Structure 1
Amino acid sequence: MKVLHLSTHDIGGGAARAAYRLHTGLQDIGLQSQMLVQEKSSNDKTVIAPKIRLFQGIAKAKLTFECLPLKLYTQKKNTPFFIQWLPDRVISKVAQINPDIINLHWISGAFMQIETFAKLKHPLVWTLHDMWGFTGGCHVIGECDRYKVSCGACPQLNSINEWDLSRWVWRRKVKAWKNINLTLVSPSSWLAECARSSSLFQNLRIEVIPHGLDTQKYRPINQHFARETLKLPQDKKLILFGAIEATSDRNKGFHLLQPALQELSKAGWKDNFEVVIFGASQPENPPDLGFKTYYLGHLYDDLSLATVYSAADVMLVPSLQESFGQTASESLACGTPVVAFNSTGLKDIVEHQQNGYLANPYEVDDFAKGIAWILENEQRLEKLSFYARKKAEQEFTLELQARRYSALFEEILMVGKKSPFSN
C-alpha cells in the first residue's frame, strides 16, 4: 500500500510533527509512506518538497498574497485565519507519485486551494489537527459556534456582516466538497464531536485515533541526570510549561497560568517550587510568576524534549482549546504527570487524579490546587508518575496509531474496489 501524506510542513510545528510521526510509524510496520510538503526541514528522503529555490520563493510569496483579503479587516484578532484561494501545483505532483490513498494533514499557508481537494482522484483521509476544515477560515473556534450553520459575522474578523470573508470561504468549501470521497480522523473525542456538529462535516465518517509518539524516545530519564544536563536545581520541585509561542499564544493559556502560579507562591510554596519554560526565550521584562523561572528557549529534537519532561515534577497545560495536546502525551510518556483543564482534547489524555489533575475550566484557583495536590505528597507523585507512563504505553504508542490507520486505509480501499463506481 502506497500512502501519501500532504502537509504544509514536515516537522515544523505540532501538527507537522504529528504527521511526520505517523509517516514514520507506517513505515515501521511495512507500509510505503511518503510526505509531500510545501516546506521541508528534515533530511528525510521520503519527504518531498520543492527543490528549486525559485519555487521555494514562490511559495513564500504566495503566503503574502494569501493574506491580502484579510487586510480589509483592520480590527481582525491576531489569530490564524486562512482562505486557501490561490492555485497550487499539488495535482501534478500527486500524479507523479501515484499513491493508493492520500492522508491530508495541516495544509494551510497557501499550500492547497480549497477546490483542489475534489480534484484528487484518490481516496482521502483527513487527519484533523484543528478546526479549520469545518470553519470559514479560523483554526481555533473559541466560544463561536457559527460553524454549525454557515459562518459569517465572524468574531475573529471582528465582523458584523453576515456575508463576510468567513461566509465566502465556508460557501466555497460547501460547493467544492459536496461529493468528495473523504474520511475524517480526529485525534480526540472532543474534536470529533465538533466536526460531527458542523454543517460541513456532519454527514461524513469520523474516526477517533489518538496521536502516537515513539515511547522509546519519550521515556523517563533519570531526573538527577536530566537536571544536571539542563543546569537546573536538584533540590526544588520543578513546574514545567511549554508550547510553541508558549507565552504569546493566548490559546496556550499563559494568562491563566500566571495568576495560578502567583496564587501558589502566596500560599507558601515560594521556597519549594521553581518554574521551567520552553518554547519561549526570556523576555526583556519577564512577567512575575511568583517563583524563580528558567527559560530554555525553543526545543526541537525529541531527546531535548524528553530530557526536560523528565527533569520536571509536573507539566502544566493550561490551554483553552487543544485538538489533542501532544505536550501532555509526551510528558506522560516521560513519567511526568500533567495538570490541565477538564476540557477539549486534553480530557482524552489526562485522567483526573490518576496520571494528573483536571481542573474545572477555566478556574485559576482549581488549577493552582491541582499543582499543589500533585507536588505536596511524594508517594502520590510516584504513583501518578507510574500511571502516566502506563497510559502512554497503553494508548499512545506509534505502532498502535500506525496499525489503526493501516486498518482504516485497508478498509477504505477494499470498499472502493467493491464499489460499482470504482475504476
Structure 2
Amino acid sequence: MVLHLSTFHLEGGAGVAATRLHRALLKAGIESNMMVHTSQFPEKNVTPLANTSWKNRKAWGRFVAERLYFLPQEKDKRVRFAFSPAAVGADISQHPLVLQADIIHLHWVNFGFLSLASLEKLFSLDKPIVWTLHDMWTFTGGCHYNRGCDHYVSHCSYCPFLAKPDRYDISFSQFEAKKRIYDLAKMALISPSNWLDNIVKTAALTKQIQSQSIPNCIDTTLFQPLKKTEIRQKMDLPTDKKLVLFAGANTQDPRKGFLYFKEALTRIDTRFNDLEVLIFGKANPQVFQDFPVPVHYLGKITKTEEMVDAYNAADMIVVPSLEDNLPNTVMEAMSCGTPAVGFATGGIPEMIDHQVNGFVAETKSIPDLAVGIQWVLDHNVNGKLSENAREKVLASYAEPVVTAQYLQLYESLLHG
C-alpha cells in the first residue's frame, strides 16, 4: 500500500497534484491511501489527520504555533509564508495507515502538519520513502523558493528571509537537522520538472540521494476541449472577442508575475478592440479597475467543471511566473487545447514547446511577453496550436503515462 502525505487535499498546486496522483494510482489498481492535515472535502481513501472538531482545533493550533515561531525572525511580512521552520508538527509514526504502508510518499507537508521531528520518526521506521518536491524546501534551510540565493548549494546561513541573518541562524540549524535525518531514510526524491531535478542533483543536502524527474499527472478525460462558443454563451462571455486568461491560487502573489502580465497587455495591438481578459483565483477586484483592457473576473474557482469551462472559454493562458516548478495551470489549460504563454522559468519551458503549442518569453521581459501573446493570437487561427497543446499533455502528463513511471520507482525501492 502507498500512503501519500500532504498538508493539503484539494487546495493549492501541491495538494491538487498529490490528490491527482493518488486518484490515478487507484484507477491503475494500486492500493493507495492519502493522509492530509485537514480537509473540507470528504473522499474515499483520503483520511484527514484532524477528523474531529477537537483535532481540527489542534491542527489549527499547530499551524499558528509554526507561524508564531517564525514571526519574530521574519524579515518582513512579504516572506511570512515563504519560509517554513518545520518546528511544529504531528507525530504520525504510529498511525495505523503509516504502519500498514509499504511505501510512504511525501508531498508538501509544512504549515504544522509534519515537523523535522515528525519526519525523523517516519524515516526511522525504515520504510521506503518517495518524496515529490513541489518547491525547493526539501533542500534549503527553510525557504520554499530561493529568490536568487544560492546558499543551499553549500550550506544555508545568513538567510536573506530573516530579520537578523547570521552564521548560525535558523536556516543553518534547519539545514543541519535535515542533513542528519536524511541519513536515516531509504529515499528517492522526485521532481515534477527537469529544472528542479537538476537543482536537486547539485544541492548539498540532496546530491547524494537517488533522484529523478517524473511530472505531475492530469485526468485528460476531465480536462478536455469543449466547444468554445457554447461555453462562452453558458458563462455569459463575449463570443466575438479574444479572451486571454490569467489564473492562479493567488493572483496577487508577486511570484506569479501579475504585474508583468498587466503591463504586457498595454503593448498588444488592440486597434480593433477585440482583446479582453479572463481572471480566476484569489484577487482584489479593485486592481482590475485601471486595467488596459476589459476584465472578466471569475473569482476563486474550486469546482473542476467550472475550471474546465474557464480554460475552454479562453483563447490562451498567460503564466508569467518568476519562480515555478511545473504549474498545474499550464497543464490544465493545454489539456483543454488552450495554448500557453510563459516566461522561461522553472519547468515552464519543458511544458510549452516554443512556437509549437505556445510561446516561451524571455524571463521578466515585458516586451517579449507581449510578443508572445500577440504571436499566439496571430498563429492559432486554424487551431493548430490548440491541437499541439492537447497532444503534448496526452503524451507527457496523462495519468497512465505518469503512473507507469511511479510504479517502476515503487518496485525498485521495494525490491531493490
What's the secondary structure of 1:274's corresponding residue? strand
Counterpart in the other structure of 2:243? 238
Q: What residue in structure 2 maps to residue 369 of structure 1?
A: 371
- 1:285 positional shift: 4.9
Deviating more after overlay: 226-235 vs 274-283: 274-283
Q: How far, CA to CA, are the matches of 1:62 and 1:186 in structure 2?
A: 28
| Equivalent runs, 1:133-144 vs 2, <5 Å | 133-144=138-149
Partner of 2:212: 207
**Alignment partner of 2:254 out of 244, 250, 254:** 250
CA distance in 1, matches of 2:287, 2:357: 35
In structure 1, what is the Cα distance between the partners aligned to 2:338 and 2:135?
A: 25
Does the residue aligned with 1:15 lie in a helix, a strand or coil?
helix
Aligned residue runs from structure 1 range 60-209, under 5 A: 60-73=60-73, 75-79=75-79, 80=81, 81-94=83-96, 97-120=99-122, 121=125, 122-209=127-214
Residues of 1 paired with 2:66 and 2:330: CA distance? 33
Q: Residues 340 and 270 of structure 1: is their aligned pair in 2 closer, same or farther, counting only changes over 3 Å?
A: farther
The residue number in structure 2 matching 1:56 is 56
| Partner of residue 356 from structure 1, selected from 355, 358, 374 | 358
- Report the Cα offset of residue 165 of structure 1: 1.7
Deviations 1:226-247 (A, max 9, x none): 111211100100000010011x
CA contact (8 A) 1:238 1:313 kept: yes
Offset of 1:172 from its aligned partner?
1.4
Question: Aligned-pair distance for 1:287?
Answer: 4.8
Matches within 5 A, 1:174-323: 174-246=179-251, 248-264=252-268, 267-269=269-271, 271-323=273-325
Give how far 1:118 is off: 3.4
Q: CA deviation at 1:348?
A: 1.3
Counterpart AA for 2:409: L
3-state SS of paired residue (1:413): helix
Amino acid in structure 1 at the alignment position of 2:398 = T
Q: CA deviation at 1:225?
A: 1.2
**Of 235-244 and 224-233, the range deviating more from structure 2:** 224-233
SS of match in other structure, 1:409: helix
Change (3 A) 1:287 1:181: farther
- Extract unaligned runs of 5+ from structure 2: none
The answer to whether the Cα contact below 8 Å between 1:66 and 1:83 also exists between their aligned partners in 2 is: yes
How far off is 1:203 after superposition? 0.5
Q: Deviations over 1:373-413 (max 9, x none)?
A: 1102453x511111001101111101211121111101110
Q: Distance in 1 between matches of 2:100 and 2:267?
A: 57
Q: Which residue number corresponds to residue 14 of structure 1?
A: 13
Amino acid corresponding to residue 31 of structure 1 in structure 2: I
Quote the residue 2:399 is aligned against.
398
Aligned 8 A contact 2:250 2:283 in 1: no
Q: Cα distance 1:238–1:56, how it changes in 2: closer, same or farther (>3 A)?
A: same
CA RMSD of aligned residues (A): 1.6
In structure 2, the CA distance between the partners of 1:286 and 1:134, relative to structure 1 (3 Å rule), is same
Residue type of the partner of 2:23? Answer: T
Gaps of 5+ in 1: 416-423
Question: Tell me, what secondary structure is at the counterpart of 1:263?
Answer: coil
1-structure distance, mates of 2:19, 2:286: 35
Give the TM-score normalised by structure 1: 0.93
Deviations 1:92-124 (A, max 9, x none): 215665111111000001111213323222100
Q: What TM-score do you get using the length of structure 2 for normalisation?
A: 0.95
Identity among equivalent pairs (%)? 33
Q: Which moved more, 1:359-368 or 1:370-379?
A: 370-379
Q: Which deviations, in whole Å up to 9, do the C-alpha atoms of 1:30-69 show, x marking residues without a partner?
A: 1100001111132212111122211110110111111223
Structure 2 Cα separation of the partners of residues 287 and 31 of structure 1: 50
39 and 367 in structure 1: CA distance in 2 versus 1, 3 angstrom threshold: same
Partner of 1:42: 41
Query: How far 1:284 sits from its partner (Å)?
Result: 3.2
What is the identity, as a one-letter code, of the residue corresponding to 1:22?
L
Q: Runs of 4+ in structure 1 displaced over 4 angstroms?
A: 94-97
Answer yes or no: is the 8 Å Cα contact 1:270–1:291 preserved in 2. no
Structure 2: how far apart are the matches of 1:277 and 1:95? 40
Whole-Å separation in 2 of the counterparts to 1:251 and 1:220: 29
Q: 2:348 is paired with a residue of what secondary structure?
A: helix
Taking a change above 3 Å as real, the CA distance of residues 285 and 257 of structure 1, as seen in their structure-2 partners, is closer
Structure 1 pair 6–386 and aligned structure 2 pair: CA distance change class (3 A): same
Distance of 1:323 and 1:281 partners within structure 2:
22
Cα distance in 2 between the residues matched to 1:245 and 1:198: 29
- After superposition, what is the alpha-carbon deviation per residue over 1:320-374, rounded to whole angstroms, capped at 9, x for unaligned? 1111111001111000100001221111110000000000112010000000011
